Structure formats: structure tokens, C-alpha cells
Structure 1
Amino acid sequence: GFLIGPQVLGWVDLEISNHVIHTIAEVTLVIVLFTDAASTDFTLFRRSGNLPLRMLLIGMPLAVALGTLAALGLFPGWSLWEAALLAAILTPTDAALGQAVTENEAIPERIRNAIGTESGLNDGLALPLVVLFAALAAGASSDGASYWLEFAGSQIVLGPLVGVAIGYAGGRLVGLADEHEWMAEWAEGIAAMAIALGAFMLAEAVHGNGFLAAFAGGLAFGKGLGRRCRFLYEFQQTEAHMLVLITFTLVGAMLLPAAMQHLTLNCFIFSIFALTLMRMLPIALSLTGLKLGLHTIAFLGWFGPRGLASVLFLLMVMQSTDLARESELLAAVALTVTLSILLHGITAAPWARRYGRAQGDRTEHPREI
């Protein structure tokens, strides 16, 4: 998107307002959160030796804390909540950017499952932190902390409540229609998307967070349906990928040039830190005691590419709050995602092949939590 945009080759000169970009990004985020949650196979937690559970419940909070400390040290003048917001935005990983890893059968199944399951859930789990830290950062900059804290509370509570109600009821209805053959399979996907968008809009109408509603609705939809959502998996591989591609192209063409105007050396240092120690150290700590090899720990720690979730969370924050550090936040997130696309894209296939060969027929047996 950046290369074909007006700043470089000039092949595409899009006259699109930020509001249109935000709207496209909102729809994409709602669908990605819902489909990721609804298509999650929770039996993979057991089959993966509880690796993703440890990575999510131990590694993820540690990554946010470590990223916050790094941002405070590298960006003088930032408040605690602004630093925490940046860390929370850059914590979720993107499974789509690591498909060379998750679909490589030379890699042990539970390692692939751990990476894929973590990526499918960590965007939804990071979202409450993003909402909370954005509200507190906005409150700190406008001396209205109590209002913003109350706002964050209503967003975090009401959104999931609406999502669970709509998602579970929708899942039951779709399951009932499928059982009685009232609905063609292709129509199930349309129904699921309608449920996702309905949960989002209803949550926003009652002052809850629509994105949290979409994620909670996806989890409840899968539960209400009572079976794996094959049509949602197929949707993820086709239409959802097209939405992601369009969003990345628009962001690259329209927002990346603006971000480059605010790049600094400290921003570059933070981006490198975010892609390495901010994730790899917490992941290593979360896997302590499982008797995994150093190669496996490094592999799990490195393959957490930043992509769509970070970009969409950033756009959500820019649309909903008025932050004093918005330009610096944009620069840090845009640079980190760009470097991640390059570095993880270059290393994914060769390291996956090397790791698969190194493992061979060896089987590691991590003890469960």
C-alpha cells in the first residue's frame, strides 16, 4: 500500500477520508474478532500440552508490563497509561502473517497448535486492556480521569454481556436451522456475519464496547452452535483475507506516510524491542518448568508477528479518543508492524524448515499446568 501510494510510485492516489478508512477497519476488526473466537477449537489446549494457556495467561500480561516499562524509558514525557496503551496495542499477534509456520507439517503439531491458538485468542484478550488504557490515557490528558474510568468500566462490562446474549442465541438458532435443514450451508456464513455485526451495533447502542461484544459473541456463538464452525474457517481463508488485504493496503497508502513524519531513533529502538525481548522473554518465563528445548522456546517466542490486530486497535483508539501522543503512537505502531511484516516474512519459511528438521521424530512431553 505504501509503495503504490502517492508518496512513492503514485500508482494509486486515493481520495478517501480517515472516516472511511476507520469504517472499513471497524468492520474488518469485528469480523476477525468474531470468526477467530467462534472457530477456536478449545481441545487444542489439551493437545498442545497447555502451551497456549501459559502463553496467554502468563506471557501476555508480562509482555504488556515489559513493554510499558520500555516505553516509559524510551519516550520521555509519556504518562504511564500512554506507555501501557502502546504496549497493549503491540501485544497481540497475527496468525495470518505466520501461516508458513502454522501450516508447515514438518513442525510438531502441538507447537503449530500453540502458535495458532494463541494468535486466535490474544487479540480478544488484549482488547479490554486497550480500551481501559486508552480511556485512562485520555482522562489523564484532559483531567477527566473519573469520567473516563467510568466510561471504560461500562465499555468492558456491557460489551461482553451483549455479545454473549446475541452470540449464544444466534448460535442456537443457526444450529436449529441446520438440524432441520432450513438453511443452506453457504447461508450460515451470512447469518454468522449478521450476528457479529448485530452484536457490535447493539453493544454500541447501549454504550458498551462493540469489539468486545464481537469477541464474546464469537465465543458464545461457537458454544451455542455446539460444533466446529467449518463455514467460518472457510470464510477466514477467503473473504476475511480479502478484507485484511484491503485494510492493510489502505493503511499503507494513507496512514504510513503520516506515521513516517514522526519517526525517531527511540521509536526504532522500541520497535526492535517490541519484536524481540518484549515477547520472547515473557514467553520463555511462561514456559519455565515444561522441559522444552531452547530452540523450541526461541521458536515460540519469535513467531509472534504483529499485524492486523495492532493496526485495527490503533485505528479504534484514534477514532474514539483524543490523545496527546497520537502522532507518536501512530509512528511506533506503524513502524513495528512494518518491521514485523518484513522480518517475520523473511524468517518464517527457512526457520520453520530448519526447526522441523531439527525436531525430526523427537517428541517433547511438557507436563501440564
Structure 2
Amino acid sequence: MAFPDVALLSGFVLAYALVSRRLESTPITGPMVFVGFGLIVGSGGFDLVEIGMEEGAVRTLAEATLVLLLFTDAIRIDLGRLRRQLELPARLLGIGLPLTVMAGTAVALVVFPDIGLWEAALLAAILAPTDAALGRAVVANPRVPIRVRQALNVESGLNDGLMLPVITLFLALAAVGIDLETPEFWAEFVAEQVGFGLLVGAVGGYVGGRLIREFAGRNWMDGAFRQLATLAVGVGAFAAAESVDGNGFVAAFVAGLAFGAAARDYCRGVYDFAEDQGELLALLTFLFFGAALAGPALDALSWQIGLYALLSLSVVRITSVAISLAGTRLKAPSVAYLGWFGPRGLASILFGLFILEEAALPVSAELFDVVIWTVLASVVLHGVTSVWLSERYAGWFSTHRREHMQEAQTVDEMPTR
């Protein structure tokens, strides 16, 4: 990007910041504004800013954002507290998430008859993770039952990391084909990609957490450097895993879990960073998404892409969630709330870039267009309904609340993204 481009983008960030508080109670969300501005100034609009995939800026920003997203999402989940209130998140992640992938795969095979099984599974897996930040009111509205908010919060924090190994495997299967390689190849592939990532992340996160806990406890560390050191653990785990041919993103996620277990008392600074600089980084990713990725995909819209995007956001997600919550005695409005608010955002964008990098995948451009349009639809639909539906649901709960209701149970609140 040239200096005039940087000046224009900086001016826009300043303008949005000036009215950001006023917009919080409206249907207009930050991701909507930044994606919209990106579409206007990018190649799909007036072409005022030159941001192309070939420049590497989008890839670099995407990778940095994904590492930060995975690490901070994992670090804010207190596994000790989560074990004591596991039912709803466990059902959403252990039953709902696999069902979402399976249902999304089946729908993709019907809507796109020219793609194969593994391409359909890859598309469904990329669009399975949710991003609660697209509708902040959904998990931040204090009138919404905390148990419901927490379930969506934990699901959003863990499902992107849990889907990483699955996406990596499906991408390899789609590009190579399961019959074209030996079982030894697949065993080695899984061991390197997943095993090395798990090992490096677990060791790096735990050792880094213990060191920071020990030296901070001795009052040897400045507060700002505690925060920087914590982030260095996540970045270091990513780089170390990539250096030994492991999956760096898996390592970053596992490092966050291990760090949180080793130094829970020193995670507060990372939450603050994620809420401030991390949010800016995420919004810039949405801006680049609109300018460099969504703009060129505007002409690719077909009835198949539009149909799949809507089915993925509605029928696939809501049905899977409803099945996963069977037997919990949650009321229908609660199940509908949990089912509808599974927005697709940063994780799907960043995972979608993996498709473009895979030259051996013949339908990579078509699959990426589906991801782009699904995220665009989610940014708009979940954005405009977040405040309204959260207030409607909160009003229903306040009217029908009974002490014996499952929704009325209290749980420990964890930080939101």
C-alpha cells in the first residue's frame, strides 16, 4: 500500500472511533462498517486503495490475526471452571460441531454436484467455527441468561482451535486424495501437523506460563512486559511448530490452553490487549477482507452460492444445535437463540485463505467464493439482528423466568472476545 492509502485508512479508523460508542446500541456493528468501507474503497468499489492478495499484506495480517485469535481465545477459557459447568458448551462442541460439519457436507454435495466429498467436507469445516464478536450484544447483554451467553462465548472461543486439525486433514485429502497415498503417509502427516503442534504448544505454553508466574511473583517483571511476554509465548509456539513442520496454528491454540492452566492469575493483561489492540487488528482484517477478498468475489455470486450460504447460516446450524441440546430441558426460544447466533467471521475468513494457497485443489476459487459470501451474509444478518433479538430474548426470559428453569442456572462468567 502507498502512503495515500494508509492515510485514507487511518482517517477512516479515526472517524469510526469517534462514533463507536454511539453505534453500540444500533444494528450497525463494527465488522459491518469495516467490511462495507473495504468494499467501497477496494477493487469491487471505487478502487481507491490498492490491496491485492499478491502483495502479501492480507496473508500476513490474516496469519497474525489468526495466531492472536487462537491464543487469546484459548487463554481466556478457564478449563478448571469450565469442567464444573460443562454441559451446554460440551454439547455444542462435542455434538453440535460435528453435526454442523456433517450436515454442511451433505448440503454442499447436493448444491454443488461438481465437487467431491473431501472438498464438500472442507467447505463445511471452514464454515463451522463461530465468531461471537460479530454480534457482541448477543454475549454482552446482561439481561440475557448468563448460562446461554456463556455457552455461546465458550463455543466461539474453542471451536476454531478444535476445527484446525480437521481442516488441515480435509485440505490434504481434497488436494491429494486418500487413495493416492499410503497409510504411512497419512500417519506421518497427522503426526507432524497435529502431533508436533500439540507437543510444541503444550510445552511452550506451560513452560512460558510457569516462567512468567515465577518471575512476576518475585516482582522482577514490569506490568507491560508481562503482557508482551505472554503474547511472545503464543507467537513463539507458532514459529517453533512451523520450524519443525508442525501446524503453528494448532500450537498457538494449545499454547493458550497450557498457559492458562499454568498462570491463570496473569492472563488479565492478555484479555485487555485482545479487547483493545486485538479488536483493532480484527476490524482491520474485516476491512482488508472487504477490499481485497469480498470485492473480487461480488461477480461470482450464483444461486447455488447464495442458497448454500443461507442454508449454512440457518438450517445447518440451527438443526445441529437443536439436536445437540435435546434433553437439556431448555425452552424453544433459548434453543433458537443458541442456534441462530452462530455467526461466521474471522476464523472462516482466515481458514478460507488456506484454500487459495492450495494449488492442487481444482475448485479452490469456487470454494473460496462460497466462504466469502457466507461470511458477508453473516456479517449483515447476524449484525442487524444481534441487538434486536438479544433484547427480544431477554424480554421473553424476564417474563417467563422461573427458578427451576435451566436457563436460570448461574455459572461463572468468563471474558468475551
How many residues were matched structurally?
367
Distance 1:229 1:347 in 2: 32
> Matches of residues 117-128 of structure 1 in structure 2 within 5 Å?
117-128=154-165
Amino acid at match of 1:41: D
Q: Select the residue among 106, 128, 131 that pairs with 1:94.
A: 131
- Distance verdict in 2 for CA 1:141–1:267, change over 3 Å: farther
Amino acid at match of 1:252: G
Distance 1:15 1:327 in 2: 15
**By how many angstroms is 1:125 displaced?**
0.6
**By how many angstroms is 1:177 displaced?**
1.6
User: Where does the alignment leave 5 or more consecutive residues of structure 1 unmatched?
Assistant: none
1:338 aligned onto 2:376: yes
Amino acid at match of 1:58: I
Amino acid at match of 1:42: L
Distance 1:63 1:16 in 2: 30
1:365 aligned onto 2:413: no
Amino acid at match of 1:151: F
> Matches of residues 78-227 of structure 1 in structure 2 within 5 Å?
78-140=115-177, 143-144=180-181, 147=185, 150-227=188-265
Aligned partner of 2:334 in structure 1 is 296
Distance 1:97 1:48 in 2: 25
Distance 1:362 1:108 in 2: 12
Q: Select the residue among 95, 98, 104 that pairs with 1:67.
A: 104
Could you list the structure 1 runs, at least 4 aligned residues long, displaced by more than 6 angstroms after superposition: none
Q: Select the residue among 23, 34, 53 that pairs with 2:90.
A: 53
**By how many angstroms is 1:95 displaced?**
1.6
Distance 2:279 2:330 in 1: 33
Distance 2:224 2:197 in 1: 28
CA root-mean-square deviation: 2.0
Name the SS of the counterpart of 1:178 in structure 2. helix
Distance 2:187 2:55 in 1: 27
Distance 2:79 2:380 in 1: 31
% same residue: 43
**By how many angstroms is 1:49 displaced?**
6.0
8 Å contact from structure 2 (residues 213, 266) kept in 1: no
Aligned partner of 1:247 in structure 2 is 285
Name the SS of the counterpart of 2:39 in structure 1. coil
Aligned partner of 1:29 in structure 2 is 66
Q: Select the residue among 392, 414, 417 that pairs with 1:354.
A: 392
**By how many angstroms is 1:47 displaced?**
6.6
- Distance verdict in 2 for CA 1:91–1:255, change over 3 Å: same
Amino acid at match of 1:62: L
Distance 2:211 2:372 in 1: 41
Amino acid at match of 1:84: A
8 Å contact from structure 2 (residues 62, 285) kept in 1: yes
8 Å contact from structure 1 (residues 93, 122) kept in 2: yes
1:277 aligned onto 2:315: yes
Amino acid at match of 1:130: I
**By how many angstroms is 1:12 displaced?**
2.3
8 Å contact from structure 2 (residues 231, 270) kept in 1: no
**By how many angstroms is 1:242 displaced?**
1.1
Distance 2:74 2:267 in 1: 10
Amino acid at match of 1:175: R
Amino acid at match of 1:133: F
- Distance verdict in 2 for CA 1:228–1:181, change over 3 Å: closer
- Distance verdict in 2 for CA 1:306–1:16, change over 3 Å: closer
- Distance verdict in 2 for CA 1:17–1:84, change over 3 Å: same
Q: Select the residue among 327, 333, 349 that pairs with 2:365.
A: 327
Amino acid at match of 2:290: G
Distance 2:257 2:84 in 1: 20
Q: Select the residue among 72, 76, 87 that pairs with 1:39.
A: 76
